[in-house]
Amino acid sequence: MPEPQKTVTEHFVAPVLEDQGRAGIENQLDAKPSNLWRDAWKSLRKNPIFIISALLMLFVLFVVAFPGVFTSASPNSNCMLSNANGSPTDGHPLGFTNQGCDIYARVVHGARASVLVGFGATLGVLVLGVIVGGLAGFFGGWVDAIISRVMDIFFAIPLILGAIVLMSVPVMRQNAGIVTLAIVLTVFGWPQMARITRSAVLEVRHAEFITAARSLGMGKLSILFKHVLPNAAGPIIVIATISLGIFIVAEATLSFLGIGLPPSMLSWGHDISAAQPQLRTNPEALLWPSLMLSVTVLSFMMLGDALRDALDPKGRTQ
Amino acid sequence: MSTSTRVETPETAGATERTPLLELRNVGITFKTTTGDVEAVKDTTITVMPGETVAIVGESGSGKSTSALAAMGLLPSNGRVSEGQIFFDGEDITHPSRKRLEALRGREIGMVPQDPMSNLNPVWKIGFQVRETLKANGLPSTDADVAQALKDAGLSDAEQRMNQYPHEFSGGMRQRALIAIGLACDPKLLIADEPTSALDVTVQKQILNHLDRLTDEKGTSVLLITHDLGLAAERADRVVVMQKGRVVESGPAQALLQNPQHPYTQELVRAVPSLTPEDIGAEDEGAAADEIVSIKDLVKEYKIRGSWGRSTQFRAVDQVSFGIRKGHTTAIVGESGSGKSTVAKMLLGLEDITSGTIEVNGRDISTQSGKEWFDFRRRVQPIFQNPYGSLDPMRSVFRTIEEPLRVHKVGDVASRRQKVHDLLDRVALPRQLGDRYPSELSGGQRQRVAIARALALDPEIVVCDEAVSALDVLVQDQVLKLLGQLQEDLGLTYLFITHDLAVVREIAHDVCVMESGRLVEVGSVEDVFENPQQDYTKHLLDAIPGKDLLETA
Amino acid sequence: MAWYLIRRILQMIPVFFGAIFIVYFLMFATSGDPTAALCGDRGCTDATKAALEAQYNLDQPFIVQFLLYLKGVFTLDLGKNFSGRPILSVIADTFPNTVKLAIIAVIFEAIFGVLLGLIAGLRKGTWYDSGLLFFSLILISIPVFVLGFVSQFVFGIKLGWTSPTVGSGAPLTDLLLPGMVLGGISLAYVLRLTRNSVAETRDADHVRTATAKGLSRRRVINVHVLRNSMIPVVTFLGADLGALMGGAIVTERIFNINGIGNQLYRAINLGDGAMVVSLVTLIVIVFVLANLLVDLLYAVLDPRIRYA
């Protein structure tokens, strides 16, 4: 071990290196322009979670759009009670339900309703939540006070509970279907999106570039849409992706409880509910739709997580 | 500061053959990042002798804090000392065990951190946070000991104050609490990382004086980290100048300041406004130019909601009257809470006027119609402080500068494009920068973009609200020069809001001194600086770091 | 402090009435003839109908009905359900079971969520962290009823560790598995919240200062990191209590627990409006009280709040 040094150099001057001369105005540019979206894309491309979840999601969407590609068996019409609770056979790789329907076909065709309800509700929540939350955050004062109280009221009613009550209203029950269910989930799901938008807006509301825009004489709404909301887009996109998963679960739960989609429509929730009595004897009828449901939700949740890392620096997990 | 009063060992007896208290020898510090390893500090040698005060000076990103923190084992988890050695009192502490490190911290090496607002735990009482320091280092920790530590740091009413929470303290008081914590265990070395840069100049001076006295009495060595060369030269025995992770020059404070050898140091010394005042603003021909803005009895009151729903009136601006000469720079200077920014906001029409008038070109702005306001905004434009907050991160530079033209429907696409390019030329930015987004720009570049945006509509008056305060000293110098040039070329009128008197001297023609909402003194820069009439102004001038050096130099 | 609490209580009043109003409105104002469900397809005699209308104040304007219902809530006179039992006694029988279930769930999610979150947060960026985050994602993605059935099948039927359904009287040992299922998703949220909060606090300036004071690592974590990180977690746990009551509908059905969730499910299928509204009112009351408790805890944990 070298000995500590005993004296202090009186006046040390480093040799001048190339990059140490007169600073001058630094105008050097990196090779490629970038912005939030490009940076986000760059980091997403390298994120295995994003790649896996995006591929999964594309797969699910493909199944939703073209179920016929995966199975020629019809989920309903070919049910034969003679096949009830049957084991896998040729062309029926997952066996049969207690009604003698092909589990594989039902799982493939069951994707559509759940995913459509999820997309519908997410769209509804995006429109309603972003507008309401944006107005509350941007205008503040009594607008915010009123909207926040209304949001509090809706927060006191859990999503599933509210949806159950609303679905039990005769008008809703009689018209039960994908659109109705999406509307019902929107009615009780918007406060979450509104809250996120509101806080994202609050964060940028007092930024100096907003004051600069006001000093230009820009109108309030124009500032809200041109400067404030684009800057709040990151967290909103993240929450929207996660909401997709949550609404798919909600649809399945409601259908499981027998209060979501009408029994005539195919849904994983129905199938899981129908398979419940045979849990001991024919667990496959319950496990396969459950697995598909969980994997679908997982793909959206993972996607949301990956997007959060890239788009929402505050919620970053890395 | 003074010589050591610590134990006389053979090493410390002779003046030349002493063991340094702290020695960083050829230290390199590497950070692991997602894009690979970055060597933030390279081949850095810093020596602190017992009883000595050494200042490390540098711009942000120069590695000054990193080097000092490495000595306490406080590097972020992705950083490590990758080269060289660190000695403390002769002992190699380059890679100490956790136990040894915990013993070193507090007892041997104390720290006073930078930002008093974020460095105290908000959920614990001040007394608790001092007490645990004493306890952890095996010192007596009765209420009396805790109160004494706080008292030593210059906190009055320590017995009561120790039962309060950090949020009940002002910035200056918090910094005193942090000094109490840093010095509670009588460390041999105190690392003071920008201990006062978040504070007003007058408070800064008090606290630094107090810190000086304390470390003098106890013979504590101090490693002072600062961006302010003036402050470093005033407070330290020796100064180490760092740039881009390397030491470029080190030596006795006075020698270094008066006779800088390295080109970087030379440039730094030239750029510090308090050390070498130069007149940047347009020539003041002395003739009485027209007053373009005249402010009379201006008052701004805010309602403050107190507890139990009571609300009280708070006067942020109280009966302020002054004028702004056309083509000149008027500075409003004051500490935080003086109301200086509120005056600027009222002139910009961003805050309502409670009473009094602001006349621009003889027109009372509060009587303007909506249409007149819109036109008025073309003539009065702002530049703000925070280079990171003043540009919309989602917009390219081109769109940012073009926006005022679009909003006011000036010209067509082609002529707007031409105008943006002219503006970029004017603020000395390359045209290709137009495609870039703010996150890719440096602080100085951003501030230039903000200036270009403010100039897009050819305004007569530009309000600069702390426009250079957040910039490193060299960049600050460049931006100030640019503002001076633009004033000369375009005949702009500036209202310059700042807390920094040294900057005022460089750029302003007239100056208004404000204190808690009131105008204390108004006059030309020469009059106010050479012959201040009010105690408060004298006090402010006195507190400029490095001022005395300038006078003796 | 007092002002803060009073303000929070004042803010909770519209939440309380608003939430009950929404549910009341949905159950009674939109259904046309509320007696139809009770009378069934065959219909009732006019006399029975009139009696029913009197019981539910259906002869009054809607807003008066609502006010009379609120009066009932405050005088603990909730009327009778379709089978003629006083609603209050149904609640008295079933609510304790749901409370037990929810408490097991909260304790489970709090202990394991915070513990795992702390491990992940302190080791941010390591494999522990990535693994735990992925685990939490999987947990969030599995719907409660799937988790319920799978654990019922595995632990109840295949392994036989616990009874697959909950017996009468809802003994605690039977409720353990349902409680864990109910708290499972929330556990994932608590884990993630704790992890982010710890990771952020760990890098906070004041934690660095605490380290620089010479405190031991254990003390820095316990006194400075953990304490500060718990503030958002406590807020979540309180708000979650209401959500758990909602989630109990599913869990109680799977494990056949005689709680308010099961009652609510039955009442909705029967169209028993009075019962539904009463049960939802109860859940809203739990939500409001839990939130007030959180506000109180918040003020204790974060001194800055007391003066806000």
Query: Is the Cβ pair C14, A153 closer than 8 Å?
Result: yes
The Cα-based distances of A75 to A86, A105, A109 in angstroms read: 15, 5, 7
Q: Match 């957040």 to its residue by tokens.
A: B470
Question: Sheet holding B291-305: strands in order across?
Answer: B311-325, B291-305, B355-360, B363-364
Using CB atoms, pick whichever of A156, A158, A305 lies closest to residue C288.
Answer: A156
- Side-chain half-sphere exposure of B103, counting CA atoms within 13 A: 7
Residues linked to residue B37 through DSSP beta bridges, in sequence order: B32
CATH number at residue A283: 1.10.3720.10
**Domain-located, residue A240:** yes
Residue B216's closest CA among B148, B146, B131, B152? B152
Using CB atoms, pick whichever of C203, C217, C301 lies closest to residue B123.
Answer: C301
Average pLDDT over residues B496-517: 90
For residue A158, list chain C residues with Cβ-Cβ distance below 8 A: 242-243, 245-247, 283
Neighbour tally for A128: CB within 10 Å: 17
Encode burial over C218-245: b for 16+ CB neighbours within 10 A, e otherwise.
ebbbebbbbbbbbbbbbbbbbebbbbbb
How far apart are alpha carbons B400 and B50 in whole angstroms?
A: 54
**Domain-located, residue A223:** yes
Query: Is the Cβ pair C280, A161 closer than 8 Å?
Result: yes
DSSP H/E element including C269: helix C260-270
Query: Is the Cβ pair C303, B165 closer than 8 Å?
Result: yes
**pLDDT tens digits, one per residue of A19-28:** 544 444 455 5
How far apart are alpha carbons B423 and B431 in whole angstroms?
A: 9
Neighbour tally for A243: CB within 10 Å: 26
Residues linked to residue B493 through DSSP beta bridges, in sequence order: B461
> Which positions in chain C have a beta carbon within 8 angstroms of at least one beta carbon in chain B?
3, 203-217, 219, 223-224, 227-228, 231, 301-304, 307
Query: Is the Cβ pair B390, A212 closer than 8 Å?
Result: yes
- ipTM, 2 dp: 0.84
**Domain-located, residue A42:** no
State residue C34's pLDDT score: 57
Q: Match 């999106």 to its residue by tokens.
A: A193
To the nearest whole Å, the CA of B440 is away from the closest chain A CA by 7
List of domains in chain B? 4-105+237-271 (3.40.50.300), 279-361+460-552 (3.40.50.300), 389-459 (no CATH)
Most B CBs within 10 Å, among C9, C209, C306, C307, to test the B interface: C209
Opening angle at CA B518, ends B514 and B519, nearest 5: 55
**Domain-located, residue A13:** no
Query: Is the Cβ pair A11, B252 closer than 8 Å?
Result: yes
**Domain-located, residue A45:** no
Contact A296, A241 (CB under 8 A): no
Query: Is the Cβ pair A35, B348 closer than 8 Å?
Result: no
Encode burial over B54-66: b for 16+ CB neighbours within 10 A, e otherwise.
bbbbbbeebbbbb
Phi, psi (deg, nearest 5) at residue B331: -105, 140
The range of the structural domain enclosing residue A196 comes to 110-310
Q: Match 């920008």 to its residue by tokens.
A: B194
**Total of domains in chain A:** 1
**Domain-located, residue A138:** yes
Burial of A132 (0-12, 13-18, 19+ CB in 10 A): buried
**pLDDT tens digits, one per residue of B11-69:** 333 444 578 999 999 999 999 877 788 889 999 999 999 999 999 999 888 889 999 99
**pLDDT tens digits, one per residue of B118-161:** 999 999 999 999 999 999 999 999 999 999 999 888 888 888 89
The Cα-based distances of C51 to A275, C56, C57 in angstroms read: 42, 9, 10
Most C CBs within 10 Å, among B33, B98, B102, to test the C interface: B102
How far apart are alpha carbons B399 and B402 in whole angstroms?
A: 5
For residue A28, list chain B residues with Cβ-Cβ distance below 8 A: none
3-state secondary structure of B474: helix
List of domains in chain C? 1-31+60-70+271-308 (no CATH), 93-257 (1.10.3720.10)
pLDDT tens by residue, chain A, 318 residues:
444 444 455 788 887 776 544 444 455 555 455 566 777 788 788 888 889 989 988 998 888 888 777 777 666 666 666 666 666 766 666 677 767 677 788 888 888 888 999 999 999 999 999 999 999 999 888 899 999 999 989 988 888 888 888 888 877 878 888 999 999 999 999 999 999 999 989 888 888 899 999 999 998 889 998 999 888 888 898 889 989 999 999 999 888 888 888 888 888 888 888 888 777 777 788 888 888 899 999 999 999 888 887 876 554 433
For residue C137, list chain A residues with Cβ-Cβ distance below 8 A: 298, 301-302, 305
Residues linked to residue B266 through DSSP beta bridges, in sequence order: none
**pLDDT tens digits, one per residue of B151-177:** 888 888 888 899 999 988 888 899 999
